[in-house]
Structure 1
C-alpha cells in the first residue's frame, strides 16, 4: 500500500505506472511468457479447457510518452519457439502478433525465472501492479481523498489476507471474487456498448444503455457492502424476492403434501382417512403449494429446494425414516439455503447438506423455528438466529461450519437440548483472534435468551461457547478471557453473564480444549 498511500484515488493509475516504469528503466530487453486469452487464437475457446495461451517471447520495454498512458510491451517470438499448447502453429502466432503490431499489454507478460536480479525486481513489480488492479483498484474510488483512499487500500489488503488465510469462510471469499470479476466484465461491456453507438442513440439503445448502467450501479453497491468489515462475516446482502405470507386457507382446511418420485398405497396407509393429500415429485413444488397449517412429508431420497430460502408459512417439514435417508442439498448458485420468516415452522428428521451458499445453513430472520432430529452438514457458516427471532434445536447434529455452529444475535432466543455440535469453526486463524469462536457464539447487548441442556460440544477449533460483548461492558482489559481459577474477578464476571443468559453448563458436555470464554469485541 506504499505506492498509492500519498495520492488521490484519481491519480492511482499514474502512481502505479510511475512505480513500474522506474523498474523497467533498469533493463530494456528480457525474456518472458506472454499469457493471453485463447480467443485470440481459437474460434471457439469455450471448448478448450485451458485458461490461457502462453508464448515464450523476447520483451523490449520502451517508456511511453506519459505515465498515464496504458503500458505496452513490444514482443517478438523467442527462439526456440515454445508454448504451453504443444501443437499451436508458429505461423498462427506470428500472424496474431502482426495484427497486434507486436505490442501487447505489459501485465500479460511474466518474466522467465533464472535471469538476473534486475529482471527479478521487474517480475516482482509486475506482480504488485497486477495485484493492485485485480483486487485493490475500483473505478468508483475517484472521489476519495489521499487519506481516505489510503485507508481503503489498507482495508482491502486486510480483506484479501482474511480470504487467503481462511478467516473469511471460503464460500464467501469465492462469491466476493466472482462478483468482483462480474462487475469488471459488466463495466467493460457497458464501455463497449457505448463505443459502438456512433450517432445519436435510438430509443432502444438508450434504454439498453441505462439498463446496463443500472445493473452496474446495483452490483457496485453490493460490492461496497461486501467491503464493510462490520458485515463481512455474514456474507453479501444480495437482493432476493420476498414471498408474501399466504396464511391459512379460507376454508381452514390443511393439506399434507407427499414428496416422493412415486406414491403407493403402502406409503399413505398410516394417514387418517380424512387427510387431504397432494403428491409432488419435486420439493420446490410442494413448498410453493403450502398454506399455513400444512404438512410436508418427504420420503427417502436426495432433494434440492430453492424455496427453503423463503419460508413464510407456519408449516411442518418432516422426513419419514432415518434423517440420513432424507437428504436436502442446497443450490450452489443461491446465496441462502434455509431462511425462515414464518411465525412457527418445524423441520424434523432431515439431513441438510450445504454446498456453496454463503449465508448460514439455517437463518431464522423472525418468528420461531424448530429443528428436531436433524443433521446439519455445514460448508459455510452455521445456524444464525437474528435479533428478535427464536430457535429450538433438539436431538440434532451440527458439524463442519467454518464459523460457529450456532450464532445468536443480540435479543434472540434459543433452546438447545440433546444436540451434538462438533468440528466447527474450521478457520485458519490465530489463537488470540476475535474470530476464534467455537461451537456456540453469543452476541450480547441486548442479552439473548439461551437455555442449554444435555448438549455435547466437542472437537471445535477455538472455544465450546463464546460470549461476545462490547469493550465498555467488561471490567478487564484484553481480548479473550479464560476462566479456570475460582474466586477471581474474571470468574465473577463470567458467572454474572451466565446468570443473565440463563446459561447452565453443568448438564452440558464441553470437550473442547477451552470450554467457555468472553471475547472483548
Structure 2
C-alpha cells in the first residue's frame, strides 16, 4: 500500500454529510494515478506528502485536546484549551484546503504551487576571475561556407578583443553548463536532442544562427522543466524548442529577467511559466500545443508579450491574480498578439472570491451596455453541482469569540465548496481588459476562435 494513500480514508472525513466516495476517494485515486503516470511535478508530490503528514499530526493533536476537555467544566485551564483547540481547528482546515486543491485536477491547474523547493539551487557563477569571456559554438558538424559566414557575421564582432575566446560543443546542455556571466552561446543549424533540463543561472545570450525551424532543441525524456532561467538578464533568440514530457513547463522563469525573441515553442504538456518576482519579455514568438495555459503568469511578476502567436492550447494566457501581503499584482503588457484556436479562453484571470462577489461580477457584466448584443463575445455560464451556504453575519455581534468562530466557519465553508463543486463558475468574457489594474497596456491584439471566448474570470 502506497504510504501517500493513507489519505484514501481520513478520520476527519467520517462525520461529513456529503457522499464519501465522490467527495474523498475519487479525487485522491485520480491524483494517485496521475502521479504513477508522471503527470504531476515531483515537487508538487513532495509538497502533497508534506501537507498530508502535517495534517495528520494536527488532527491527532486536535483529537487529543478535544477528548481531554470536560463538558461541564468552567475552569480557566479548559478555557485556554478551547482557544488552543480553535487554533488547531483553523490550522487543520488550512491543511485540508491545500490538500483538496492539489487533489482536484482543475484547481491544481489554476492554483497549484509556485515551484520546486526541492530542485537544485544553482548559483550564478558570475564573471571569470581572469576576466575572460567565452563564445560557445554548438554544432555537430558544419561546412566551410557556414563557418565563414559565422565568422564574419558573429564571431569577428564578438571576439574583437583579446579577452574573448571561442569554445566548441556538440550539444547545448554542455555549452550552457560551461557558461559564466556575459558569455554567448551560438547554435548552428541542426536538431539537438537533449536528455536533461537546461538550467540558466547566469546572464548569458543564447541565439540560433539561422531561422528557428533550422535550430531545434528537443527534449524527449521525462522530467520537470525543459528550460529554467534564474539569471538576472538572459536572452534567447532564433531557437525552436520541442517539449515532450517536461510536466512543469517548456520554459520557466523562476527569477531574474528573460528576454525571448523570434522563438518557436512546441509544447506537449505545459507552456511558459513566469514565477513571482520574475520578468519575461516575449516578442515575435510562436507558442502552441500546451495542454495547460500557453503562458502562466504568477502574482508579483512582470510580463510583456508583444507580437506573439499563442494557439491550440487549453487557454492562451492564465493570470494568477491572488496576491498576498508579500506579492504584488502582476504587471502585464499585451500588444499586437494573435491568440486563437485555444480550447478555453484567450485570457483567463484567476481571482479569489466568494459566491456573493462572483454574482456581483456577473451582474456587472450583464449590466454593461450591449453586453448581450455583441455577437463576437459569447456568453458562458458554467453551473455548479452544489455550493456552500453563505454564513450569516449579525451587525450587532461584537463578541471576540463569535468573530473567531465565524472566521473559522467561513474558512470551513470555503474549503468544502472547493471540494464539492464539480464545475467552477466563470464570468462572461469582457471586452475591455484595461478595466483590470494588472494590465499596463493592451492594444492591437486579435482574439479569434477561442472555445469559451476572449476573456474570462475564474473565481475560487
Shorter chain as denominator, the TM-score bin is 0.5 to 0.7
1:173 aligns with 2:56: no
Q: Which residue of 1 aligns with 2:169?
A: 280
Corresponding position of 2:57: none
Q: What pairs with 1:117-156 in structure 2 (closer than 5 Å)?
A: 140-141=6-7, 144-145=10-11, 147=13, 154-156=23-25
Distance 2:429 2:213 in 1: 43
Q: CA deviation at 1:347?
A: 1.1
Once the two structures are TM-superposed, the CA of residue 249 in structure 1 deviates from its matched residue by: 1.4
TM-score, reference length from structure 1: 0.55
Q: Which has the higher contact order (CA 8 A, sep 6+)?
A: 2
The match for 2:351 among 442, 448, 469 is: 469
CA contact (8 A) 2:299 2:330 kept: yes
**C-alpha contact 1:304 1:329 (8 A) present in aligned 2:** yes
1:449 aligns with 2:331: yes
The answer to whether 1:519 aligns with 2:458 is yes
Q: Which residue of 2 aligns with 1:255?
A: 134
Q: Using the alignment, how far apart are the partners of 2:347 and 2:36 within structure 1?
A: 23
1:77-117 deviation digits (Å, cap 9, x = unpaired)? xxxxxxxxxxxxxxxxxxxxxxxxxxxxxxxxxxxxxxxxx
Checking the alignment, whether the CA contact within 8 Å between 2:332 and 2:441 is kept in structure 1 is no
1:414-444 deviation digits (Å, cap 9, x = unpaired): 000000000000xxxxxxxxxxxx2011111
Aligned counterparts of 2:182 and 2:23: Cα–Cα separation in 1: 52
CA contact (8 A) 2:276 2:299 kept: yes
Deviation for aligned residue 1:268: 2.4
TM-score by length of 2: 0.61
Q: Check if 1:269 corresponds to 2:136.
A: no
Runs of 4+ in 1 over 6 A off after TM superposition: 148-153, 168-171, 478-482, 488-494
SS, match of residue 360 in structure 1: strand
CA contact (8 A) 1:413 1:448 kept: yes
Residues of 1 paired with 2:8 and 2:248: CA distance?
A: 32
Asked if structure 1 preserves the Cα contact closer than 8 Å seen for 2:136 and 2:168, the reply is: yes
> Are positions 1:158 and 2:32 aligned together?
no
Given that residues 7 and 28 in structure 2 are in contact (C-alpha distance below 8 angstroms), is that contact kept between their aligned partners in structure 1?
A: no
The secondary structure found in structure 2 opposite 1:314 is: coil
RMSD of Structure 2 on Structure 1 (CA): 4.0
Aligned to 2:265: 376
Distance 2:231 2:173 in 1: 17
How far apart are residue 453 of structure 1 and its match?
Answer: 0.7
SS in 2 for 1:361: strand
SS in 1 for 2:174: helix
Task: String of CA shifts for 1:130-175, please: whole Å, max 9, x gaps.
Answer: xxx7xx98564599425269879844412555899xxx89975377
Unaligned runs of 5+ in 1: 1-132, 184-223, 426-437
Give me the whole-angstrom Cα distance separating, in 2, the residues matched to 1:372 and 1:169. Answer: 35
**CA separation in 1, counterparts of 2:35 and 2:446?**
27
| Aligned with residue 275 of structure 2, among 386, 391, 394 | 386
Structure 1 pair 155–257 and aligned structure 2 pair: CA distance change class (3 A): farther
